Amino acid sequence: MRQLYIKQKVFSLSGKFTVKDQQEKDIYYVEGSFMKVPKTFSIMNTERDEVALITKKMFSFLPKFFVDVNGRDVITIKKEFSFLKARYSIDAEGIEVHGNWWDMDFQVFHHGKLAGEVSKEWFTWGDSYKVQIIDEELETIIIALVVAIDCVKADQAAASSSASI
């Protein structure tokens, strides 16, 4: 089992942050496209090779995010039509998310077997998440899923704040 940490910089307009291991060594680099359409987040390994790409689909009635890992489309997160509360669904082949993923406290299952756990670290500056990787073959997918969910949350927060102005 491997434990990783994602800590975003609060005032980073470019959306750059790293994923670290328990020894605080950088394992993945995440870079967002601040002024680019469509909005993307690229996840790179220590050699700076892109291993995952998160893309927000533009010009759709409801927001939709696509996650490609190693060139394969593996996860889609989409907003569902709802009058009261924002609802999203996660569609991924063989991957299920159980728990409260909106509050970043959930488990990731692969074909019914626990593959990873995610929890939000409280009392930190910026958003910080602890990611326990149980199935190391799915490490990149789990990291991409956490970053994608965080993108969805940020997108929802931005939409809510602009709607209230």
pLDDT digits (tens, 9 = 90+) for 121-162: 876 666 788 999 999 999 999 999 988 888 877 777 777 666
Of 114 and 64, the one with more pLDDT: 114
pTM of the model: 0.84
| CATH number for the domain running over 2-163 | 3.20.90.10
Residue 53 CB partners (closer than 8 Å, separation 6+): 40, 41, 42, 43, 67, 68
Alpha-carbon gap, residue 4 to 54, rounded angstroms? 19
pLDDT at residue number 150: 82
